[in-house]
Structure formats: structure tokens, C-alpha cells
Structure 1
Amino acid sequence: MGQKPSVPQPGTTIQVIGAGLPRTGTASFSKALEILLEGPTFHCGTQATLGPPIQIKTWIQALKHWAAGGDSDKKALLELLARQYDGYAATTDSPGGQLVPELMALYPDAKVICTVRDPVSWEKSMNQVMHYTFLWFLRGVLFPLPGMRHFIDYLTLLSVQWKRLYDEDVPTRQTYYRHIEWLKEVVPEHRLVFYDVRDGWEPLCKALGKEVPKDIPFPHINDGEAIEKIARLHIRRGLTRWAFIFAVGATGLAWVLYR
């Protein structure tokens, strides 16, 4: 997950569809794409949790249409995706990584790049994510926050999407393998690239036909630390907002009783 949300750049269109699962270096990948493509990257997790409230609300609508699957739903889904990605040069992270067929239809010239890592370490990393995203008190704490009050509904729909694609309730290394196989089924071979961020600039630049940036080190962002930081930020913001609400309520009650 990235450190801050990206701002759309008018006239920019999707050139890269990031098909890698979360916790496969998507934050570093996103930053690298911004440098190479000279445009903003839509890192789904970051945009949903730190972007304007309309973005998480749009994802909820899009995932509902995806789950419904009717002809009118498919059309509505494509319209929502086109609106969501307007002004961005690339998309990374979930749920975009599970909407590859739809995104290929919208952006037929875009390259599909799947970030990869060791499946065993990925499984352990995803278990850490689950700890922060499914805390029992999260819905109540986040309720006073515009946008984030919808976070649990968003996670629920993400779970529906993953369950349908990978037939698993909890992400495991088998989820990772099934995602790779699914991509090979839905993406033409000439459009699909597998990439490990530990390999740096060279293979990514080769895949995109770009020159290796001079004097610019490859960005390395720790996804786990970013997720933990954002989780703590929103929990702290929610608790602070609740404290303010209770303080205002107590002041109002005291004033009424005083009168």
C-alpha cells in the first residue's frame, strides 16, 4: 500500500494494468510506474483508504455489479471503472487485480504486469493484513469518518470477489497459485508479464519499452509498514472523532441541565 493517494492528471489514460495480489510489492511497483509513465498510479488500497470518500463508495458499487454479473451490471461496472480510472496512467492492487478482463476491455493497449513473490512468505504477509483489517471493533471506530465508515462493507465485497475467483475464505498460498493460473487463462500471453520488484528497473523497463532512469534508485516501500501505519491512523482518527462527539454531547447536556 502506498503512502498517500494519487491525484488524477487530466488527459492521462491507463497504460499498465497491475495484476499482482496485495503484498507483492505493489506500493514500490506503483511508485516505479509513476516515474516511468510520468503519470499518477491508482493504487487501489491507498485510494480506497486515503483518497476522497467517493472512491471507496465507487468500489462498493462496482463490486456489487461484478458480483451480480448480469448484462446491465457488466455495462454499469465498465462505466464505473472508466470513471474511477480517468486521469491515471496505471492501476495496481486489489480489486483492480481481480478485474483484469474488464480492464483489458476498457484499455486494449495496456500491458498487464503481475508482481510476484515467494508464495509462502506471501501467505504469512497476508495473515498480518487480516489482523488489521478484521479487528472486531473496526466498524464502530470508523463510523464517524466519511468514506472509512464504509470500509467493512468494502472488505466484505472484496472477500466475495476472492471467494468466487479462488474458492477460499482465507488467503493461502493456494490463492496465490490460483491467481497466477487465472491470469494465464484470461490474459493473452503477449500482454502478460510477471515481475519481481526485487529485480529493480531493468526487467520492468524492458517490458514497457522504457529507458532505465538515470540517477534514480528503484523505489522500495514496505507494504506491511504502510498498511500498519494507515490502520493506526484511521483508528486514531475514529477514536478522536468519537471523543469530540461525546465531549460536545456532554457539554450540551450540561448546558440543558444548568438551565
Structure 2
Amino acid sequence: MLEVIGAGLPRTGTTSVKVALERLGFGPCYHTFEVLLRPELAGRWLPLCSVGAAADWERVFEGFRSCVDWPASFFWRELAQAYPEAKVVLTVRDPQSWYSSFRVLGSLSPREPLREDEAPESIRPVVAAMTSLRPLFERIRGSVFGESWEPGHSPDEQRAVAAYHRHVAAVLAAVPAERLLVFDVREGWGPLCAFLGVAAPPGVPFPHLNDAASIRRTFELMRTEGRVHVPFTAGG
């Protein structure tokens, strides 16, 4: 049963919000990186690779109390309807700053995705899982930006920023104000805790994660050492 639904686009602080929600007691929080840690989760999404497919949200989010990031946040409208008591958090940032970060993410993604038969044996299940989700991300990309997905490629700034503004406007128009928090992670614990009705963790700084270095390290370690590093696990 989801209690908090993240509606922000990737690179708007979604990983920071994941960690924050878990520290506030709303975890586990689903994030795309969960598939790297638990490849079996990919199978829950496969029915949604096709437009119009029926979703079993209870199955998709079994074991989770909140969600952020694509593919979950792409379905914010459907999730808000399926979980009418859940609160919605729309993470935002300056659109041009967001585009710069989103473009860096695209440049860090390998242009030639790691194939299962080429991957170190230890991460072949992870590679297979992410490969199986590619049609879903292609669907998301086409819907949000109006273009097909290509590894290592980002949409141009004008197209991307226009998509960003459309997304924010759609969420603001659809979700009642009392159910929605528009949140910039630079604001820290205050707005998020007030919205969720919980106290901030004493002496704990608000998390700021998922920078370019972390993403680069994730790809490098998968290729060179056959292990998964994600920015929200201790020790990496």
C-alpha cells in the first residue's frame, strides 16, 4: 500500500527523496536502482511495456510504502487514483539546471548497452532485468519527450524544458493542493516533514545524493568488477 507517491521527473532529487522518506519511516521506497539490487523486480513491470495494459499496482509495489523516479513516477496519475489516501510529492528544480543534469545522465549512459552474454557472470541477472525494461523506458521517453530513446542520447534543451514545464503543469492541475507538495530538495527537511506530519530526524542532515560521480561509478563497476554500486547503500 503506497503512502507517498513521487511525481517528479528524474534528476529532480528523487534519490535524495528516497533516502529521506525511508529515514522518516515511509520505506522501503521504490526507486529504479532497486532493480539493480533485486533484478526480479523487473518482471513486475513487464505488463506495462505496452500502452493500455492493465496494471496490478499491488503486485508492482508489493513490499514498498513509497515510490520515486521512473518508471514509477511516470504513472503518477494512475497511482494517485489507485491510492487515493497517498500523498504526492512533486520534486522540482530550475528547468535549465535540471536539463544540464539530465543531459549529463544521458552522456554517462553507455551508448552500447552491456549485453548479457558480455557481462561479468555476477551481474548477468541485472543486465537481463534492465534489458527487459528497455521497451518500458522507450514508451516513457516517447510519451514525455515525443521522441524515441537512444542510449547515450538526451533530447535537445528546448524540447526537454518544454516537457519539464508540461509535466509540472499537469501534476499541479490534477492533484488537489492539500494532497500535493511541490518540493525542492534544497529546502531540506522542513516542508517534507510538515507535509507528511512527522518530525525531522534530530541531528541528521537532509540527504543529497545521485550526483554524476555516483552514476559513473555504477556503470564502471558493473563493467569492470561485475558488482553493483548504488548511491543509497552504505559502503558502495
TM-score (norm 1): 0.74
Q: Which structure 1 segments of 5+ residues have no match? A: 1-12, 240-259
CA offsets per residue over residues 87-135 of structure 1, 9 Å max, x none?
2121011011110122123221110101111111211111121123342
Indicate the residue corresponding to 2:213 in structure 1: 225
CA offsets per residue over residues 210-251 of structure 1, 9 Å max, x none?
122222221221332322221112222459xxxxxxxxxxxx
Among candidates 33, 58, 63, match of residue 46 of structure 1: 33
Aligned partner of 1:197: which letter?
A: V
Indicate the residue corresponding to 2:233 in structure 1: none
For residues 173 and 134 of structure 2, the distance between their equivalents in structure 1, rounded to whole angstroms, comes to: 26
For residues 222 and 108 of structure 1, the distance between their equivalents in structure 2, rounded to whole angstroms, comes to: 30
Contact 1:142–1:235 (8 Å) recurs in 2: yes
Distance verdict in 2 for CA 1:128–1:53, change over 3 Å: same
CA offset at residue 200 of structure 1? 0.5
Aligned partner of 1:175: which letter?
A: A
Distance verdict in 2 for CA 1:167–1:117, change over 3 Å: same
**Farther off after superposition, 155-164 or 18-27:** 155-164
Counterpart check, 1:88 vs 2:73: no
For residues 57 and 230 of structure 1, the distance between their equivalents in structure 2, rounded to whole angstroms, comes to: 22
Q: What do you get for the CA RMSD once the two structures are aligned?
A: 2.3
CA offset at residue 199 of structure 1? 0.7
For residues 39 and 238 of structure 1, the distance between their equivalents in structure 2, rounded to whole angstroms, comes to: 28
Within 5 A, what are the aligned runs for 1:186-225? 186-225=174-213
Rg: which structure is higher?
A: 1
Identity %: 35
Contact 2:42–2:132 (8 Å) recurs in 1: no
Indicate the residue corresponding to 2:136 in structure 1: 157
TM-score (norm 2): 0.81
Counterpart check, 1:131 vs 2:107: yes
Contact 2:44–2:59 (8 Å) recurs in 1: no
Counterpart check, 1:122 vs 2:98: yes
Among candidates 35, 39, 49, match of residue 64 of structure 1: 49
Contact 1:143–1:149 (8 Å) recurs in 2: no
Among candidates 125, 143, 159, match of residue 146 of structure 1: 125
Indicate the residue corresponding to 2:85 in structure 1: 109
Tell me how many residue pairs correspond in the alignment. 215
Contact 2:5–2:79 (8 Å) recurs in 1: yes
For residues 14 and 99 of structure 1, the distance between their equivalents in structure 2, rounded to whole angstroms, comes to: 13
Counterpart check, 1:25 vs 2:10: no
Distance verdict in 2 for CA 1:167–1:143, change over 3 Å: farther
For residues 147 and 226 of structure 1, the distance between their equivalents in structure 2, rounded to whole angstroms, comes to: 18
Contact 1:82–1:106 (8 Å) recurs in 2: no
Give SS of 1:213's match: coil
